[in-house]
Structure 1
């Protein structure tokens, strides 16, 4: 951490030395405060499985120091509290499995810890109109490494990022990441140490996976290229390399066309993933990714929106040899069919069809929305193709967002999720608990001061 700060300060000094006219020295301090309350509960109405609830709170206290427009120092310390909960640290008596949802609000490495904190943000930045560099602890929003804002804190990374925009149509971005603080953790861990903290499923041979503490990966590298085409189209490319694990290529094209009733959107995504090195461990029973895996993904979207409505229909197909993998600790899926509270990584084949609709009220700051998706997955009998022993399912999310006008920067968000199997016959308790035949509710309150 100290070495990164010294390197960035040195680079910033070199960049500034060449300025012929020095602007008036001015320091601007902006507070960065984020309070978040999260209620979560999970029920299995037709099953005798363990039901849990939790009320968590987090508070980030920090600030941004801006100097001469180009320089910034950003810091923030976040505390967490388990205000009330069921015994979320106890496994389900029927399946022996641990809780998947409520424990993620707190520290997965110590689920009984009711109060803890961590230095979440500590970064230095220099930027001008065409170039920027930033180092330290910071947030990230890339295709496969992102904040995944579904718990009390986002995933953050420690490393260096730089961007270059030679004109209004091109932008180049690179990341070098050495450590991560995943949501649901009080620690800053190396890249390999983060793998296996969340539920890990099965190895390709069908044995319980044991990735945590057995996965060797020293760094993450990301490079991105964005190109605007005219006023209404853009192309995005990225390559995410997890050293000794895998390399994922991602390409997307989107076009927005103005029509009489609103804006029509068309999007196409494609991806390719391959294993790298020994996949995390020489031992096949501990290996995260098979080196011979070759996976591909195709995803499409057609949508329409105006001042009141946002709608889109999405389809994704994943295929190839081996499992498409991306640690759930690192972020949400990039494909268009992602629905909050479930992911489709860990499968050899996926076909997903998802529709979305949102209505924004005109006279009150309220919007309601819904996701409905059908997800056809690889047969659970084959562990090499279905990592989590997960049956094909349908998912319905109903949500409400409200931002009261009288309280600035306050927003409330409520989500009700239902997941049901497409085939209810011969399902085992292990294929139900944490997966299907469930109702899941989230109530979230956010307040920011910045």
Structure 2
């Protein structure tokens, strides 16, 4: 009996010893990072989107409508000693709608806005509309990071995501986000490529400028500057400062061979009020002087200057804002439409300041947020004064003075449907002076309905 107990004791000792060694080995394995861990800890994200758009032109002009469906799927690895890799693809296709290529009988033109849900550089393609939107390597340290590749940059008031179509702007290059503390942040970027909104291909900065409509030169001649600037890229310097009720944002955009743009913005909160001012100054580089007049993006001596201000009041879910922007007569305010959209206090959907000088913009905005349900209602009324059709010195796209109303309604679901949201945007725009068919078709004197359904995950 004693021998049996001794044998059992020895057996238990051996089992416990082996088990403890195995646990110790497993602990070491758990503590030692492995390549497979970055995939086990990876995250998926993306969205599914449906976009219905209907432009209703003046009674005697043709209307257009379309419905686009699609989505995006992104994958970001787990963090491995600060490093992570991300990739994201996006796709779109036309589910139904009118024939966007049918010409209006009066003007001889076809659809405009509806094509922007697909590929404006390959009109008529409604199926093969996929794009590699992100492919980057990122290194994180503290609250800062360094990125290289194709990615969504930090927001700037000129170069931005502008996710108002099926495909937003995407950029390629290097980016450093330096978050020193809650008061000071710095962003540094050098971008050498872009995939513009409503397109599927990637372009270098030397070929992206002028991909879209080039407009007019100040002397009235049609501009033609596409592929005349061998620009190596655009550099961005951004400094943000926050303290108590005060904020300061400073940006410098250095567009190689083209121009430099300085954007300064301050804001101050006092009780329920907020006051903000934006100032922009542009300086062209000497490279344009060696080009023919019609091939220049910006003319020598043009110094775009803009002053924009806003006073807003908000309380108990209600917000009211008054905004005013003045573009000086020192030159046109210019920034490539292929890179982003300007975000002045008076900029709204379907109406931007780019291309204008010697102009005034007034805006009144009102919005109300209902917490339960999560409902947001808003209206924006904008008045544009100063531009004269047929006079191109400060009017790159030959637009008329106009009045515009944007009304929007958005609802965000919670609970079981978390991630689902609906957005309705109704736009009405009219010219003040010129209302002939050629002047207004798909530009003004129209109503437009945008109904967007998103499911974000």
Question: What TM-score bracket applies, with the shorter chain setting the length?
Answer: 0.7 to 0.9
Counterpart of 1:218? 232
d(CA) in 2 for partners of 1:323, 1:429: 27
> Equivalent of 2:428, from 410, 413, 418?
418
CA displacement at 1:266 relative to structure 2: 0.9
Quickly say closer, same or farther: Cα 1:235–1:365, change in 2 above 3 A.
same
Q: Over residues 180-207 of structure 1, what are the superposed CA-to-partner deviations in whole Å (9 max), with x where a residue is unaligned?
A: 0111111000123223333332222323
Match of 2:376 in 1: 367
Partner in structure 2 of residue 341 of structure 1: 350
CA distance in 2 between counterparts of 1:279 and 1:413 reads: 43
SS at match of 2:297: coil
More strand by share: 1
Residue ranges of structure 2 left out of the alignment (5+ in a row): 1-29
Which has the larger displacement, 66-75 or 101-110? 66-75
Do the aligned partners of 1:221 and 1:242 also contact (CA within 8 Å) in 2?
A: yes
Question: Per-residue displacement from partner, 1:426-446 (whole Å, max 9, x unpaired)?
Answer: 544332123211111101011
State the 1:357 CA deviation. 1.0
Q: Secondary structure at the match of 1:249?
A: strand
1:338-393, Cα deviation, whole Å (9 max, x unpaired): 11122121112221111111111232111111011111132222112211111100
- The TM-score with structure 2 as length reference comes to 0.87
Q: Which of 178, 197, 202 lines up with 1:188 in the alignment?
A: 202
Q: 1:281 to 1:357 in 2, by over 3 A?
A: farther
1:230-309 aligned at under 5 Å gives the runs 231-258=244-271, 263-279=272-288, 282-309=291-318
Q: Which residue matches 1:199?
A: 213
Q: Does 1:321 align with 2:330?
A: yes
Extract unaligned runs of 5+ from structure 1.
1-21
Is 2:418 the partner of 1:408? Answer: yes
User: What SS class does the counterpart of residue 320 from structure 1 fall into?
Assistant: coil
Q: Root-mean-square deviation (CA), in Å?
A: 2.1
Instruction: Using the TM superposition, name which of 406-415 and 378-387 deviates more.
Output: 378-387
1:90 and 1:278 map into 2 onto residues whose CA distance is: 42
CA separation of 1:120/1:162 partners in 2, compared to 1, >3 Å: closer, same or farther? same
Q: CA deviation at 1:396?
A: 0.2
Deviation string 1:18-50 (CA, Å, 9 cap, x unpaired) is: xxxx9863531111121111111111134x333
- Is contact 1:108–1:197 with CA below 8 Å preserved after alignment? no
Give me the whole-angstrom Cα distance separating, in 2, the residues matched to 1:422 and 1:350.
Answer: 14
The one-character-per-residue Cα deviations of 1:225-266 (angstroms, maximum 9, x if unpaired) are 11123x1111110011221222110001111223xxxx3111
Shift of 1:403: 1.1
- Normalized per residue, the structure richer in helix is 2
- The correspondence of residues 32-71 of structure 1 with structure 2, limited to 5 A, is 32-46=45-59, 48-68=60-80, 70-71=82-83
Please report how far the alpha carbon of residue 323 of structure 1 lies from its aligned counterpart in structure 2 after TM superposition: 1.4
Q: How does 1:90-169 map to 2 (within 5 A)?
A: 90=102, 92-97=104-109, 99-115=111-127, 116-129=129-142, 131-140=144-153, 141-169=155-183
